[in-house]
């Protein structure tokens, strides 16, 4: 039994949850306090400490305060007892008030008084409530009517606004429909244009494919033409060119051989001519020596050797005459005599040798007189 600040003895039961702290220093303190003691002894020590603080706190509170606010009372006990218990290395985890009662029916009387007060207040409250209910009901009725009228007015205004807004909405809807229809038509036209463009692109791609196929076919035909016509023709042309080149080479070699032969023949002929020239020069030198040794006799011999040739040249025009008609003997004889008599002057003009004198100096030779 514990006495409150008013001297009313009450019994208070509570439940405390405690544990040993884990801090090394505090744990050392707990060991010093409880080492060698039993569990019961430890519980009694903690219980006595808690009871002492509980008595001290109850002496400062009234029964009403304790009864009405148990949680605050329990928290106050826990806060006051925690430092002392902590000095022993114990931590209060929780402390709750389990029950409060007394043996003089103080709490029951307090309850009855409170009950009477509550009943009185309830009756008064009921009457006031009924009064207030009537007032409130009339006020509510009036307010309801006002609200109704206001709501009717608002409904009418709302209906008017609704019709106006509906008309505006209809205009907007029609405008939106027209715009949507226009947009739809425009989009449809764009879509048709896009489809047409794609069809044209597809057609262009198909034509490109056909062109590519035709180009490939042309390339294939060209390759086939190359394989069938051009390559054989090129091979034949190459063969002809090779043969022509061979012929040209052969002709060049033949021409070179002929040129070499001509050069050799020319060299041989030149050597032969040189030898002949040298022989003729030697002959002329010897003749010159003989001429110097024999004098006019040698010149006369040369002249006489040349006379047949001179006579042949003089008579050459007569050799081309097919037929000679002799009209008289005297004239023919005189013509021949004239031709023969012209030889000595010609020889003398050519060689400087007087043929008549040279012949006259020959042993046994005679010169005929002039005709």
Among candidate residues 41, 53, 38, 42, the one with its CA nearest the CA of residue 90: 42
Question: Contact at 8 Å (CB) between 84 and 49?
Answer: yes
What is the pLDDT, as a whole number, of residue 370?
45
User: pLDDT (tens digit, 9 = 90+) per residue, 134-180?
Assistant: 787 777 788 778 878 887 887 888 788 888 887 887 888 788 777 77
Q: Which of 280, 302, 307 is nearest to 291 (CA)?
A: 302
Tokens of 195: 């489809």
* Confidence (pLDDT) at 371: 42
pLDDT reported for residue 236: 74
The pLDDT of residue 330:
53
Residues of the chain with pLDDT under 70: 1-7, 107-108, 110-116, 118-119, 229-231, 233, 290-304, 306-307, 310-343, 346-371
Greatest alpha-carbon span in the chain:
232
Which pLDDT does position 368 carry in this prediction?
56
Q: Tell if the pTM clears 0.75, that is, is over it.
A: no
List the one residue out of 59, 44, 49 whose CA is nearest residue 80.
49
Instruction: Give the pLDDT score at 254.
Output: 77
Residues 358 and 296 sit within 8 Å (Cβ to Cβ): yes
Q: What are phi and psi of 15, to 5 degrees?
A: -125, 125
Q: How far apart are CA 50 and CA 14, in angstroms?
A: 10
Q: Are 2 and 11 in contact (CB under 8 A)?
A: yes
Residue 222: predicted pLDDT:
78
Domains of the chain: 2-104 (3.30.479.30), 296-360 (no CATH)
> How far apart (Å, rounded) are the C-alpha atoms in residues 82 and 92?
6
d(CA 45, CA 33): 10
DSSP three-state, residue 282: helix
Q: Is 347 exposed, middle or buried (0-12, 13-18, 19+ CB in 10 A)?
A: buried
**CB of 298 closer than 8 Å to CB of 291:** yes
Cα 125 from Cα 131, distance rounded (Å): 10
DSSP secondary structure of 220-261: HHHHHHIIIIIHHHHHHHHHHHHHHHHHHHHHHHHHHHHHHH
pLDDT of residue 351: 62
d(CA 189, CA 195): 10
Beta bridge partners of 2: 10
- Cβ atoms within 10 A of the Cβ of 29, count? 16
- pLDDT (tens digit per residue) in 210-260: 898 988 888 888 787 777 766 676 777 777 777 877 777 777 777 777 777
């Amino acid at each position: 039994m514990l006495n409150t600040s008013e001297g009313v003895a009450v019994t208070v039961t509570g439940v405390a949850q405690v544990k040993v702290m884990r801090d090394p220093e505090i744990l050392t303190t707990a060991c010093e306090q409880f080492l060698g003691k039993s569990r019961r002894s430890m519980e009694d020590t903690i219980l006595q400490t808690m009871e002492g603080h509980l008595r001290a706190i109850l002496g400062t509170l009234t029964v009403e305060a304790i009864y009405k606010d148990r949680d605050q009372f329990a928290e106050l006990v826990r806060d006051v007892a925690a430092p002392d218990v902590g000095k022993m290395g114990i931590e209060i985890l929780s402390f709750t008030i389990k029950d409060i009662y007394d043996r003089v029916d103080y709490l029951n009387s307090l309850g009855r008084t409170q009950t009477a007060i509550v009943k009185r207040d309830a009756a008064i409250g009921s009457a006031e409530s009924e009064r207030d209910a009537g007032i409130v009901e009339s006020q509510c009725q009036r307010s309801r009517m006002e609200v109704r009228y206001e709501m009717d007015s608002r409904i009418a205004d709302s209906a008017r606004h609704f019709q106006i807004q509906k008309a505006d909405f209809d205009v907007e809807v029609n405008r939106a429909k027209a715009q949507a229809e226009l947009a739809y038509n425009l989009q449809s036209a764009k879509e048709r244009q896009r489809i047409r463009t794609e069809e044209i692109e597809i057609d262009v791609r198909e034509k490109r494919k056909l062109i590519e196929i035709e180009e490939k076919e042309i390339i294939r035909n060209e390759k086939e033409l190359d394989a069938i016509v051009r390559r054989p023709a090129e091979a034949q042309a190459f063969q002809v060119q090779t043969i022509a080149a061979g012929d040209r080479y052969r002709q060049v070699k033949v021409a070179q051989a002929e040129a070499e032969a001509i050069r050799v023949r020319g060299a041989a002929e030149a050597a032969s001519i040189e030898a002949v020239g040298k022989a003729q020069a030697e002959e002329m030198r010897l003749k010159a020596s003989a001429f110097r040794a024999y004098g006019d006799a040698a010149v006369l011999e040369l002249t006489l050797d040349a006379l047949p040739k001179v006579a042949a040249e003089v008579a050459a025009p007569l050799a081309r005459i097919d037929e000679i008609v002799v009209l008289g003997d005297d004239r023919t004889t005189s013509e021949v005599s004239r031709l023969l008599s012209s030889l000595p002057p010609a020889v003398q003009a050519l060689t400087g040798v007087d043929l008549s004198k040279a012949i006259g100096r020959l042993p046994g030779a005679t010169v005929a007189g002039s005709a």
